[in-house]
Amino acid sequence: MTVTKAHIVERLFSQANGKLTKTDCARIVETIFEIMKQTLESGEDVLISGFGKFSVRAKSQRRGRNPQTGEPMLLPARKVVTFRCSGVLRNKMNSD
């Protein structure tokens, strides 16, 4: 199952034990993701201890082809976000 923002809000709300409203939980989740987006847009990394690191990487221009016509074309340079999980998360995923 894919976890959505709505699922995260629900989990946060259920674990808050009545200390936060669902609206507060949604606002917190939105704020965290907005901070992460702004940080990545500025080219900085986002490091979440015990979880992993989101990094912005530049990909150079490359040759490709149009899948409909097979015609060769140049794909422009772009930036992509990569994720590298922490050793703690990797160990938890691989433990039995």
pLDDT tens digits for range 2-53: 999 999 999 999 999 889 999 999 999 999 999 999 999 999 999 999 999 9
Taking the domains of the chain in order of start, what are their residue ranges?
A: 1-41, 43-96
Model pTM greater than 0.75?
Answer: yes
**In CATH, what number does 43-96 get?**
4.10.520.10
The full length of the chain comes to: 96
Q: How far apart are CA 89 and CA 82, in angstroms?
A: 16
Question: Which residues contact residue 87 at a Cβ distance below 8 angstroms, ignoring those fewer than 6 apart?
Answer: none
